[in-house]
Amino acid sequence: MALAAALLVGCTGESGADGERTWSRGDSAAKQGQGEKQGRGEERGEKLAAESFRLFREATSVRMTRTSGAREQAMLMDRKGNCTGTYDAGPMKRAEVLVVTGPGGASDAYIRYTAQALAEILDEAERRGPATEAEVKPRVELIRGKYLKMSDPDGTFGRQCNLEAGARSLPFEAEAVEAGAPTVRHGVRVIPLTGRDAADGTLYVAAEGPPQLRYATRASGDELSFTDYGTPVRVQAPPAHLVVEADDMAGGLLDA
């Protein structure tokens, strides 16, 4: 029963062969206790987990922020394949992201590098020598303050940016889950939910109001947070004068 693992993987575009995950007593530890309750904590945990999953599945939009070490990706996404947010994967890899999906499923992704990322790219180009700097500097100036557009007729971006993918990663059953004492995480009062194997990680649901899923963590330190339930995802293609087609950037910017 990989509690947080299923979410941290499934909510970022990966899924099992059938597109759904189960969260039940399928592992050996759970099987040993099959048919038995572990007390009120487990019974309460199962109810809270099941309700948090239901609320997530029914949400029209959610902002999911994944943190892994110094890397962070925060995206507000809906069920139509639209999303907006930011990612920071370290030097030269910091940007604002928009994904706009049309009625037919085709999507366009727009990426606008931050000023810091562009400065880091220029610094690295200079470090590599005059020839590299001469190639990279004009490209950086071409996209400064603008969006790099990548068209995707097949809708891959839209599928990865669709809340439905996250919803499908949730199990339909929540067994062998124990609720801990209420605590505070990142300023939010939450209730931790754990399975029998601590290595699986921990889910945290809101302790006040509806028990919305708020955080999922793993022993590795990775964390996924869930906020802004139901906030409209207002995205549209940026104005033409702020867009640079990817085809106009032959050769890209600079390899990391």
Tell me if 23 sits within 8 A of 6, measured CB to CB: yes
Place of tokens 């110094």: 70
Distance from C-alpha of 153 to C-alpha of 176, rounded to nearest angstrom: 43
Other C-beta atoms closer than 10 Å to the C-beta of 37 total: 12
Q: Which residue has the higher pLDDT, 251 or 245?
A: 245
Q: Does pLDDT of 81 surpass 60?
A: yes
pLDDT in the model for residue 35 = 47
Q: Is 45 helix (H, G, I), strand (E, B) or coil?
A: helix
- In this prediction, residues 159-174 reach a mean pLDDT of 72
Tokens 């399928």 locate to: 26
Q: Where are the alpha helices (DSSP H) in 146-195?
A: 156-160, 163-168
pLDDT surpasses 80 at 30: no
Give the pLDDT confidence score for residue 201 in this predicted structure.
84
DSSP state of 57: H
Shortest CA distance to 220 belongs to which of 190, 197, 200?
Answer: 200
234 DSSP β-pair partners:
none
Instruction: Pull the structure tokens for residue 32.
Output: 């040993």
pLDDT (0 to 100) of residue 7: 42
pLDDT tens, residue by residue, 97-122: 999 998 888 899 999 999 999 999 99
**For residue 42, which amino acid is it?**
E
Say what the pLDDT of residue 42 is. Answer: 79
Where are the chain's structural domains?
3-65+174-227, 79-162+239-248
Q: Provide the pLDDT for residue 34.
A: 46
Mean pLDDT of 197-209: 85
Q: CA triplet 47, 52, 53: central angle to 5 degrees? A: 100
Question: Under DSSP, is residue 216 helix (H, G, I), strand (E, B) or coil?
Answer: strand
- The rounded mean pLDDT for the chain is 82
Within a 13 Å sphere around the CA of 14, how many CA atoms are in the beta-carbon half? 5
Give CA–CA dist 183/150, Å, rounded.
Answer: 43
Q: What is the DSSP letter of 134?
A: H
CA 254 to chain centre: 26
Q: In the predicted model, is pLDDT for residue 65 greater than 90?
A: yes
Strand partners, 190: 183, 206
pLDDT range class, residue 243, cuts 50, 70, 90? very high
Based on the number of CB atoms within 10 Å of its own CB, is 127 exposed (0-12), middle (13-18) or buried (19 or more)?
A: exposed
Confidence of residue 157 (pLDDT cuts 50, 70, 90): confident
pLDDT higher for 102 or 166? 102
Query: Would you state the pLDDT for residue 153?
Result: 85
Mean pLDDT lowest for which of 27-36, 74-83, 161-170, 203-212? 27-36
Q: Is the pLDDT of residue 28 over 60?
A: no
pLDDT value at position 169? 65
Do residues 137 and 119 touch, judged by C-beta distance below 8 A?
no
Q: Is 129 helix (H, G, I), strand (E, B) or coil?
A: coil
Two tokens at 207? 């302790």
Instruction: Say what the pLDDT of residue 197 is.
Output: 67
- Name which residue leads in pLDDT, 40 or 202: 202
- A 10 A CB-CB count for 109 gives 22
